């Protein structure tokens, strides 16, 4: 069986740059005078996080949390575990979770519950991509980069079996045999 390859580009580099710039400005406005901590969700959000923090003209701190699905693979089972925890407590901090994609919503709803239990001052979620059609649980996403249809995407942090995270754009995975 051949490995599926990246296909049609869904979100180009210029589109990413423009929209992430807008998100950065919006976050800076919303937290003016405050120093929020941006929590990147590994691994998928590492490129988005790097570009988003550079688009925020204001004081912030950063931290990362590594999650893994119990089932493995690329589709969420909803059973999530923390494989690498935050370095610093978030009690009384303004927290902005930076996530790659919200699909069923199970992962982010788990993470929201987990972080709420640490008593942040406020907690918001920023997701680069929202696949709203596939939502199984009602979860609030405060900042959304792009809403896309139900296609499996790779590139710009999104992987297929560990591959393609390094592409500078977001593409649909081409699963049709050559
Ligand atoms: P959820 O729990 O919302 O269903 O899924 C969240 C996780 O599923 C994401 O953080 C990501 O790891 C994975 N995922 C969902 N859709 C896609 C996709 O289109 N491409 C990739 N590479 N991962 C996805």
pLDDT tens, residue by residue, 97-156: 999 999 999 999 999 999 999 999 999 999 999 999 999 999 999 999 999 999 999 999
Residue 49 lies in a domain: yes
Ligand 1 neighbour 103 (Cβ under 6 A): yes
134, two tokens: 């596939």
Residues in the chain: 178
Residue 133 lies in a domain: yes
Residue 100 alpha carbon to ligand 1 centre in Å: 8
Mean pLDDT, the chain, integer: 94
Beta strands in 26-169 (DSSP E): 37-42, 61-69, 80-84, 94-102, 122-130, 143-147, 153-154
Ligand 1 neighbour 153 (Cβ under 6 A): yes
The domain spanning residue 50 has which CATH number?
Answer: 3.40.50.2020
Backbone angles phi, psi at 136, to 5 degrees: -110, -25
Please write the tens of the pLDDT for every residue from 36-63.
999 999 999 999 999 999 999 999 999 9
Predicted local distance difference test score (pLDDT) of residue 176: 73
Residue 29 alpha carbon to ligand 1 centre in Å: 29
99, two tokens: 């996530």
Q: From 103, 129, 156, 174, give the residue whose CB has the most ligand 1 atoms within 8 Å, as the site to mutate.
A: 103
135, two tokens: 């939502």
The domain total for the chain is 1
Q: How far is CA 46 from the centre of its chain?
A: 8
Ligand 1 neighbour 106 (Cβ under 6 A): yes
Question: 21 is in which domain, residue-wise?
Answer: 7-30+38-174
Q: Whose alpha carbon is nearest atom 8 of ligand 1? A: 76
Residue 158 lies in a domain: yes
Taking the whole predicted model, whether its pTM rises above 0.85 is answered as: yes
Ligand 1 neighbour 31 (Cβ under 6 A): no
- Going by C-beta distance under 8 Å and a sequence separation of 6 or more, which residues neighbour residue 153? 10, 101, 129, 170, 171, 172, 173
User: d(Cα 24, Cα 128) in Å, to the nearest integer?
Assistant: 12
Residue 2 lies in a domain: no
User: d(Cα 26, Cα 44) in Å, to the nearest integer?
Assistant: 22
Active site residues: 103
CB 112, CB 118: distance < 8 Å:
no
Pairing of strands 170-174, 5-11: antiparallel
Residue 176 alpha carbon to ligand 1 centre in Å: 20
Residue 1 lies in a domain: no
């Amino acid at each position: 069986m051949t490995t599926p390859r990246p296909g049609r580009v869904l979100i180009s580099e210029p589109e990413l740059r423009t929209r992430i710039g807008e998100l950065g400005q919006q976050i800076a406005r919303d937290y003016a005078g405050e120093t929020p901590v941006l929590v990147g969700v590994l691994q998928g959000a590492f490129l988005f996080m790097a570009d988003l923090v550079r688009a925020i003209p204001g004081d912030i701190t950063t931290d990362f949390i590594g999650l893994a699905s119990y089932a493995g693979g690329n589709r969420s089972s909803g059973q999530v575990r923390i494989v690498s925890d935050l370095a610093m407590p978030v009690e009384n901090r303004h927290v902005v979770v930076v996530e790659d994609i919200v699909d069923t919503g199970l992962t982010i709803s788990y993470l929201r519950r987990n972080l709420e239990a640490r008593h942040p001052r406020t907690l918001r979620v920023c997701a680069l991509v929202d696949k709203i059609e596939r939502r199984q649980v009602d979860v609030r996403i405060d900042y959304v980069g792009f809403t896309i249809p139900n296609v499996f995407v790779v590139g710009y942090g999104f992987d297929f079996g560990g591959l393609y995270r390094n592409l500078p754009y977001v593409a649909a995975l081409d699963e049709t045999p050559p």
